[in-house]
Chains A and B, each alone.
Chain A
Amino acid sequence: MVPQNLRYTKDHEWILADGDTATVGITDFAQKQLGDVVYVELPAVGTVLAVHQTIGTIESVKAVSEIFSPVSGEVVETNGRLADAPEAVNQDPYGQGWIFKLKLANKGDLEALMSDSEYETRLAGLEH
């Protein structure tokens, strides 16, 4: 079961909208695929992002994966904790392992993302 209050992308990121700001992270499925995360390259605060723009990278021991912006907006905060404790992405992907927050440029962007049940259907499809 994935959290019901989030929206999801095909890149296995989640986004939590709260008014006109939103928090972004990667899903539990994504962190399991990556394995032990050892370094997260974060976007600079103030960076203006288009939908699906590459904004950073997550390095695990064995792989490197890009972080995309699920929506358009401006980066307002990044998770400084990840510099010293990147393993938070593995241990608590929907909580302390969040990656960045942005100010939404267009709330309509959220409509294009998957709901929890749509994402679960997608995950079920990947397991076969």
Chain B
Amino acid sequence: MKRTRFNANHRRLGARMIEFVGWDMPVEYKGIIDEHLACRTAAGLFDVGHMGEIHITGKDALAFVQHISPNDASRLSPGMVQYTALLTDRGTYVDDMLVYCLHPEFYLLVVNASNTDKDYAYIVGQKDGFAVALDNPSDRYSQLALQGRRAVEILQPLTDLPLAGMKSFTAAFGKVCEKECLVSRTGYTGEDGFEIYTLDPDPGILWDAIIEKGTPLGLQPIGLGARDTLRLEAKLPLYGNDIDETTTPLEADFKWIVKFKKGDFLGRDVLVRQNEGGLARKLVGFEVVDKGIARPHYPVFLGGSQVGHVASGTFSPLFKKSLGLAYLPLAQAVVGTEFEIGIRTNRVKARVVPTPFYKRDY
């Protein structure tokens, strides 16, 4: 099993470890609900060193990113970050990812751990005709996410980067705890916060210093369990649950990352047709009205017949009820639609509600 460079830090804190896509990762420390609420009210620290990092360098770096991404990377200047997808030629998701423009000829892609090797092989297969060099240095990167309303307060004493003036979806190189880092104002929780990347071979002090600064302010270390409940409340998609090689960004309600006018890109033809011809289905957020907790793969029924499955579903620690995401036929993919979810032998009522379920108020 692979280990991040913070593995010993987790074990010292008594984390419960599990295997996640080949990585030995913390699933919880104090408990999912406690950790979740700490992140919502103060801050949380996540080890996300399992994520993949892919480098695209060279004269055609931008043109290549434009080819593989439906979003418009030409809008990025160095220090800007963009959420986008990696699509098949059928317009479906190979993965979702962040694109960092670090230099006009250097782009960093941050992809899901479960997909890193697949993505890299796919991207390498697209390289013909582009003057670019590709590299997958994922194993050399460590990554932490510090999320929550107190993130600036916690991180500022540890870095020479002026954090308060840093805009959302921007990134900068600087030192954190005297270690060279790339810090971006991004995250996967719906909170303000930062993602911190480093190539330092011994970055353990970053974890310990943030824990030490943050604990008096309410910060907790957060495992994969609460990472999932946090991202779901913010309606941030999870690859494998909400998006995959059978779904398109239009169906997943991510039309804003598809920039038809920017020129050609992988999957564009299919998406143009889908956009003009109308979608068959769309991803919506729902709450369970009756007792019970919706979970991935549970069947979804409309008017008595099965129309699909729950994509993501969990108990929401903030709202104290079961929330989830599911694909519904377009006509029913509107707020207020009532449908049923098969939970073991019962069919329980659920209702489409506005999303994101959680939107920060600061």
Residues of chain A whose beta carbon lies under 8 Å from any beta carbon of chain B? 32, 35-36, 38-39, 41, 57, 59-62, 64, 90
Residues in B neighbouring A61, C-beta threshold 8 A: 32-33, 225, 229, 314-315, 317
Check A35/B32 contact, CB under 8 A, given A61-B315, A61-B317. yes
Residues of A within 8 A of B292 (CB): 39, 59
Kindly list chain B residues whose C-beta atoms are within 8 Å of the C-beta of A64: 293, 295
Shortest CB distance B26–A (Å): 12
**Residues of the B chain whose Cβ atoms lie less than 8 Å from the Cβ of A62:** 27, 32, 225, 228, 314
Chain B residues with Cβ below 8 Å from A41 are 291
C-alpha gap A59/B293 in the complex (Å): 8
Question: Which chain A residue lies CB-closest to B292?
Answer: A39
Instruction: Kindly list chain A residues whose C-beta atoms are within 8 Å of the C-beta of B229.
Output: 61
- A39's partner among B16, B32, B291 (CB-CB below 8 A) is B291
Asked if residues A36 and B293 are in contact (CB atoms below 8 Å), the reply is no
Q: B229: nearest residue on chain A (CB-CB)?
A: A61
Measured CA separation A32–B18 after assembly (Å): 13
A7 to B18, CA, bound (A): 29
Residues in chain A near residue B261, CB distance under 8 A: none
Task: Given A62-B225, A62-B228, verify A35-B28 contact (CB < 8 Å).
Answer: yes
What are 9 contact pairs spanning A and B, CB under 8 A? A35-B32, A36-B31, A36-B32, A38-B315, A39-B292, A41-B291, A62-B228, A64-B295, A90-B31
Interface residues of B in 23-66 (CB under 8 A from A): 27-28, 31-34
User: Quick one: closest A residue to B295, CB to CB?
Assistant: A64
Q: How far is the CB of B345 from chain A (nearest CB, A)?
A: 10
Residue B344 at the chain A interface, CB threshold 8 Å? yes
Residue in chain B with minimal CB distance to A59:
B293
Distance of A60 Cα from B292 Cα, bound (Å): 11
A38 to chain B, nearest CB (A): 5
Contacts of A32 in B (CB 8 A): 16
C-alpha spacing A64/B315, complex, angstroms: 11
Closest partner residue, chain B, to A38 (CB atom): B315
Complex CA gap A38/B319 in Å reads: 12
Please report the C-alpha to C-alpha distance between residue A35 and residue B15 in the assembled complex, in whole angstroms.
12
Q: Which residue of B lies closest to A63 (CB)?
A: B295
CB A66 to nearest CB in B, in angstroms, measures 9
Distance in angstroms between the alpha carbons of A61 and B295 in the assembled complex = 10
Given contacts A57-B344, A59-B293, A61-B229, contact A39 B28 (CB under 8 A): no
In this complex, which of A32, A39, A62, A64 has the most chain B Cβ atoms within 10 angstroms of its Cβ?
Answer: A62
Since A36-B33, A59-B293, A61-B229 are in contact, a sample of 20 more A-B pairs with Cβ atoms closer than 8 Å, ordered by chain A residue number, is A35-B28, A35-B31, A35-B32, A35-B225, A36-B32, A36-B34, A36-B317, A38-B33, A38-B293, A39-B315, A41-B291, A59-B292, A60-B32, A60-B315, A61-B225, A61-B315, A61-B317, A62-B225, A62-B314, A64-B293
Chain A residues near B31: list those with CB within 8 A: 35-36, 90
Residues of chain B within 8 A of A36, CB atoms compared: 31-34, 317
Which chain A residue shows the least CB distance to B34? A36
Which residues from B are CB-within-8-Å of A39? 291-293, 315
Chain B nearest Cβ from A116, distance in angstroms: 24
Taking CB atoms, residues of chain A closer than 8 Å to B32 are 35-36, 60-62
- In the complex, how many angstroms separate the beta carbon of B315 from the nearest chain A beta carbon? 5
Residue on A nearest B28 in the bound complex, by CB: A35
Report how far A61 CA is from B228 CA in the complex, Å.
Answer: 10
Task: Give min CB distance, A87 to chain B, whole Å.
Answer: 8
Contacts of B314 in A (CB 8 A): 61-62
A35 partner residues in chain B, CB cutoff 8 A:
28, 31-32, 225
**CB-nearest residue of chain B relative to A90?**
B31
- A64 CA / B229 CA spacing, docked (Å): 15
Q: CA separation between A57 and B16, bound complex, in Å? A: 23
Nearest-neighbor residue (CB-CB) of B33 within chain A:
A36
Q: Tell me the bound Cα distance from A38 to B291 in angstroms.
A: 11
Q: How far is the CB of B296 from chain A (nearest CB, A)?
A: 11
Alpha-carbon distance A62/B20, docked complex (angstroms): 14
Q: A38-B293, A39-B292 are in contact. Are A59 and B315 (CB under 8 A)?
A: yes
Q: How far is the CA of A41 from the CA of B293 in the complex (A)?
A: 11
CB of A37, distance to nearest CB on chain B (Å): 10
Residues 7-19 of B, flagged 1 when their CB comes within 8 A of A and 0 if not, give: 0000000001000
Instruction: Render B121-149 as a binary contact track against A, CB cut-off 8 A, 1 for contact.
Output: 00000000000000000000000000000
